[in-house]
A and B are shown apart, each in its own frame.
Chain A
């Protein structure tokens, strides 16, 4: 496929790939604190089932995951592990930061041992605010991510123009829909 080597991808192929990728995400749950329980309720409970969106919640290792949901407080002691696990994920990878502790430090913004937001360590695509956010909020975040993936420019990614989808700004759930 010489097109791909030259960094150009025809639109139908992009649409097909994006569609496939957005509906077959494997989520690696980085469940740290209280948000992990809401994430567990979203992923594992029969009421807020996430598998109906095509997202499968239990990959065996980060090397098989597309998406990581960081839920809970990230402390300075834990931060190197987060970075290491993020680096182990293969491209293309996405990050959802769930809960106010992961977004910005949350109720512990003035603590001496809390990292004020996981975006200080890894790039984040979707912020889901809440303390803890309802499972439906997390599902909305995943749906918004899926919409974004469908609009992604695969060629740009393979040309190496950044890991962010079209270098777009990260989305905050509850902040309005994207195109």
Chain B
């Protein structure tokens, strides 16, 4: 890890881009070249889904880039207006479809805030454990996909293999590999099965091995490092202006983690965990932080498993839930970043308006800014390091 300040990195990158353009410029004039518009996607193996990126090139450098989102727009915010609260919970699973449980939690917490109901401690702990498991499931696929997008095909098979263990755990607890739909206003749907805790501890060990393997295989590889270091530098002020969150923000040196810095009825204040930051702000920093966070998540799960309080998993709530009038905003540190729900309720069976603040929307809004002056192969590596899920961008 270098201790180069971000401003230096950003300046160095800018100067290298300008130098490259200057070197090409004379040749362009002599050869009378014209720019080319390249359309990446919407169906492309390297984008995490149907993202279309239109770039205008001058030789090998990008002059102008524009992501074209909306190919997965399913109209979530309109659909929530005609559904009841449990139906919205089921629907909302599918926004960030890799770490699905994490999508339900802020919505349920917002509804509980409006109802002035707090889930019993056991439910809060189990929610936190499942939240961290969904983070592990999500980011382990990211680490595998990272390899594929840079050309290393092996890590993705290991990622899928190790992700199966986590999905098995989630399935045995909630009934669904993906899209568990397990959270309810006031607690959880049911309690954990017998033997789940011992099983989870073993799976956490396996995942720590996986993180070490990826560390060795990918992060130690010099091709990986030279492709990612110093590429796509985002200074912290720009990151905050665009609302980047999660690992992207912490990679620019901003120490902000909603698990630690916010008081929510989840069990994060009962565990010790480290919030990883990196001063560089380049693509390597973003990927590296996610690896450390996965390891950290396994440690959090281990600590939580040791101390689950006993009790019921559901508070006393009426059978048909009508949430009283009001507005509430809850956001949590999801695997992709900060995901929040602004729930407006009018005392009905379902919400009046739900504004879904998804992390990838802000993360990708920075693409036109960050892709200027970048070479074509670096487009893919920058997008890979920013890490988005199309359902999260497009809702």
Contacts and interface: CB of A to CB of B under 8 A. Distances in A.
A40 B98 CA distance: 12
Contact of A111 (B49, B78, B157, B178): B78
Nearest to A109: B79
Given A44-B156, A108-B74, A113-B74, A32 B50 contact: yes
A34 B164 contact: no
Interface string B360-395: 000000000000000000000000000000110000
Interface string A101-124: 000000110111110000000000
A44 B390 CA distance: 20
Contact of A44 (B49, B91, B157, B391): B157
Interface in A1-45: 30-34, 36-38, 40-41, 44-45
Q: Classify chain B's interface size.
A: 20 to 34
A75 B71 contact: yes
A27 B163 CA distance: 23
A52 interface: no
A114 to B, nearest CB: 5
B256 interface: no
A77 B79 contact: no
A77 B157 contact: no
B70 A41 contact: no
A46 interface: yes
Nearest to B158: A46
A132 interface: yes
A108 B177 contact: no
B254 interface: no
Contacts of B98: 37
Interface in B78-102: 78-79, 82, 90-91, 94, 97-98
Q: Pick from B71, B98, B164 the residue with the most CB of A within 10 Å.
A: B71
A45 B157 contact: yes
Contacts, number: 85
A81 interface: yes
Contacts of A41: 160, 163-164
Contacts of B141: 37
Given A85-B43, A111-B79, A132-B179, A33 B160 contact: no
B355 interface: no
B160 A114 contact: no
B94 A113 contact: no
Nearest to B94: A34
Contact of B75 (A34, A112, A134): A112
A131 interface: yes
Contacts of B79: 108, 110-111
Nearest to B391: A33
B164 A47 contact: yes
A33 B94 contact: yes
Contacts of B75: 108, 111-114
Contacts of A113: 73-75
Contacts of B179: 34, 131-132
Contacts of A114: 74-75
B179 to A, nearest CB: 7
A110 B74 CA distance: 10
A59 to B, nearest CB: 11
A45 B164 contact: yes
Given A77-B70, A77-B71, A107 B178 contact: no
Nearest to B390: A33
A107 B90 contact: yes
A75 B49 contact: no
Interface in A57-98: 72-73, 75, 77-78, 81, 85
25 contacts: A33-B49, A33-B97, A34-B97, A34-B178, A34-B179, A37-B98, A37-B178, A41-B164, A44-B156, A45-B160, A45-B161, A45-B163, A45-B164, A47-B160, A75-B74, A77-B70, A78-B42, A81-B42, A81-B43, A85-B43, A107-B90, A108-B75, A110-B82, A111-B74, A112-B75
Closest 7 A-B residue pairs measured CB to CB? A45-B160, A34-B97, A111-B75, A78-B71, A108-B74, A113-B73, A113-B75
